[in-house]
Amino acid sequence: MQAVLSLKKYLKPYVAFALIAPLLMVLEVSMDLVQPTIMQHIIDRGIAAGDTSYVVKMFGLMILCAIIGLIGGAGCSIYASKTAINFAADIRQELYETITYFSNKNKDHFTLGKLITNITSDVEMLQRALTMLLKVFVRGPLTFMGAILIVFLTARELFPILLVVVPILAIAIIYFSKISGKMFLKVQEAVDAVNTRVQENLAGIRVIKAYNRKQHQIEQFTAVNGALMRRNIHAEQIIGILMPLTVFVVNMGIIAALWLGAIKVENDTIEVGMILAFINYLMMIMGGLMSSTHVLMLIARAVPSANRIDAVLKEKSEIHNNEQPFTGSIKGAVTFENVSFAYNKNSEPVLKNISFKANAGETIGIIGMTGSGKTTIVQLIPRLYDADQGVIKIDDRPIEQYDLQALRAAIGYAPQKATLFSRTIEENVKYGDESASLEELIEALESSCALEFVEKFEDKAQYTVAQGAANLSGGQKQRLAMARAFIRKPAILILDDTTSAVDSISESKIQNAIKENFKDSTKFIISSKVSSIRHADKILVLDDGEIVGQGTHDELLEANPAYQEIVSTQLVRGGTLNE
Ligand SMILES: Nc1ncnc2c1ncn2[C@@H]1O[C@H](COP(=O)(O)OP(=O)(O)OP(=O)(O)O)[C@@H](O)[C@H]1O
């Protein structure tokens, strides 16, 4: 419930709409409530006394009430929807922005599937609950209490029937809604499981096909889908029993009213119109109770959604920006002093006491076994993660002293997995620098050896990359990702294994282009191939999170056993160091 309260601030801008909606609903309910009484008067005073002009007058009043009720109802719907839609849109926007500013550690904490469910179905659930709350919650209790009051004031002879029927209805509804509330919680959990499965399967569709695991995936989906179906059926069945049960209780009330009414009419204590009005009010009481229950159930379902949304919104970004940042320019010298880092608080550090210096304009090669920590090292430079111990400096100043935006703007980072968006090639590359000119775009494409294949597309740089870059090869994706880093002309250029899918002739061209065009940039080149880093000014040899050697290719080849082993393995595999 705490989460629901903390989300109420998103309602503030729409508080006027949120108040108008129930007020208009009061109008509609009031009009509904007077109708049976008017009808009672038509029967008892008009028809029974043969007073036609009174009947016509009352019919006119009925029509007027119906029109006013219609205006109230429609107005309430409009304002309730306006409030809920705006409220939901603001929360969705805030969620998206919060997630955008998440550090990688924050992202690791929530899974992708959960975040998608948050932005889509959880927000949708809140929207539905709020709409119903504003529309129906006022209507339900008001109709219920208003009808009881009117019966008490105008048909007191039949009031004892309500004293029996209403508690039975209330107990049945409370009991069933409690059970179904719990059931719907389970339904929501099952929906989560289906969402996660669908998302995972669609993202990995190629792997699933390649490994012939379609049947296996279908079986897994059938299991979660089956669980959702069973839980839905169970929950719906409980609601399904409630409806006929309440109708049965109300019918008993009607029979009692007719029986008691017949006796009282016989005794001339009441008139026929009162019995009919009472039956109408009884139906209204049932309707009021049912609709209140419906809203309560929706709220019960929205609470877990609110909790999940609140958890994301309250997640504090692990990376803090300096309030008074250093604003000078960045030349690009990078120093690591005894840096250690673990992805999770209690787990083994992935980097242990890393120390090295890269002078501005130098090329640093990073090599080592899979999982030795190469990517982790370079991710600390743009502060995708913050180091747990030690200091990282740029131009002899700790990186925390720089403005985060300015720091990242000085870095061109092409990650190991090339991520392209479903936009044109131009837009994808200019993602690195939106203000880049056409010449700069061509230059970046040329440096990354992407121009040769881009020119072959009919639309050239306007060629649209499909979702997940499914219409590009692995090597093409890598080249465009490098072009995006190049177009920034960054002080620090980081290429994380970006030529693994690029042929050796193109790789050599890219190496030359980097040498030529990025003389002043400090370059970090991660590769598992010695040939990609052998000309670096300094090579860092990593093993299990530690630097076990640093120096030039020749120095390491002469004195570093770990490097010698890597070189000899690659020679044994039939490679040459000049590939
Ligand atoms: N987001 C993460 N959460 C937890 N552990 C992680 C995460 N990313 C990487 N690791 C772990 O950190 C260690 C170093 O990973 P890293 O990606 O830096 O290695 P790498 O040398 O770049 O490997 P590769 O050559 O395969 O790319 C590995 O053991 C890996 O399992």
The CATH number assigned to the domain holding 136 equals: 1.20.1560.10
Closest by CA position to 378, among listed 233, 494, 220 = 494
Q: Based on the domain organization, do 429 and 554 belong to the same domain?
A: no
Q: Which of 111-120, 121-130, 229-238, 389-398 has the highest mean pLDDT?
A: 389-398
Closest by CA position to 528, among listed 419, 372, 381 = 372
Q: Based on the domain organization, do 440 and 406 belong to the same domain?
A: no
Q: Based on the domain organization, do 310 and 375 belong to the same domain?
A: no
Residue 368 beta carbon below 6 angstroms from any ligand 1 atom: yes
pLDDT grade for 301, boundaries at 50, 70 and 90: confident
Structure tokens at 248: 């049965």
- Report yes or no on 555 lying in a domain: yes
**Mutation to probe ligand 1, out of 343, 352, 499 (largest number of atoms < 8 A from CB):** 343
Global confidence as pTM = 0.68
**Mutation to probe ligand 1, out of 105, 348, 354, 375 (largest number of atoms < 8 A from CB):** 375
Please identify which residue in the block is written with the tokens 């929207």.
Answer: 127
Three-state DSSP state, 463: coil
Instruction: Provide the CATH number for the domain around residue 381.
Output: 3.40.50.300
SS3 percent helix, strand, coil of the chain, rounded to 5, is 65, 10, 25
Residue 347 beta carbon below 6 angstroms from any ligand 1 atom: no
- Report yes or no on 111 lying in a domain: yes
Q: Based on the domain organization, do 270 and 370 belong to the same domain?
A: no
How high is the pLDDT of residue 570? 79
Residue nearest to atom 13 of ligand 1 (CA): 371
Q: Which domain range does residue 129 map to?
A: 2-314
- Report yes or no on 320 lying in a domain: no
Which atom of ligand 1 has the smallest separation from the CA of 104? 1
Q: Based on the domain organization, do 162 and 213 belong to the same domain?
A: yes
- Report yes or no on 442 lying in a domain: yes
Averaged pLDDT for residues 421-441? 93
Q: How far is the CA of 260 from the centre of ligand 1 (A)?
A: 80
- Report yes or no on 292 lying in a domain: yes
Give the count of domains, the chain: 3
Asked if 39 and 30 count as a contact pair (C-beta separation under 8 A), the reply is no
Q: Based on the domain organization, do 336 and 426 belong to the same domain?
A: no
Asked if 252 and 149 count as a contact pair (C-beta separation under 8 A), the reply is no
**H-helix or E-strand containing 366?**
strand 363-368
Which atom of ligand 1 has the smallest separation from the CA of 545? 14
Judge whether residue 272 has pLDDT over 60: yes
Q: Based on the domain organization, do 211 and 350 belong to the same domain?
A: no
Q: Based on the domain organization, do 395 and 273 belong to the same domain?
A: no
Asked if 184 and 297 count as a contact pair (C-beta separation under 8 A), the reply is yes
Q: Based on the domain organization, do 144 and 272 belong to the same domain?
A: yes
Which of the two residues, 510 and 269, has the higher pLDDT score?
510
Q: Based on the domain organization, do 225 and 190 belong to the same domain?
A: yes
Q: Based on the domain organization, do 113 and 128 belong to the same domain?
A: yes
How high is the pLDDT of residue 90? 95
Residue 527 beta carbon below 6 angstroms from any ligand 1 atom: no
Judge whether residue 575 has pLDDT over 80: no
Q: Based on the domain organization, do 45 and 137 belong to the same domain?
A: yes
Q: How far is the CA of 351 from the centre of ligand 1 (A)?
A: 10
Residue nearest to atom 16 of ligand 1 (CA): 373
In DSSP terms, which residues pair with 337 in a beta bridge?
A: 391
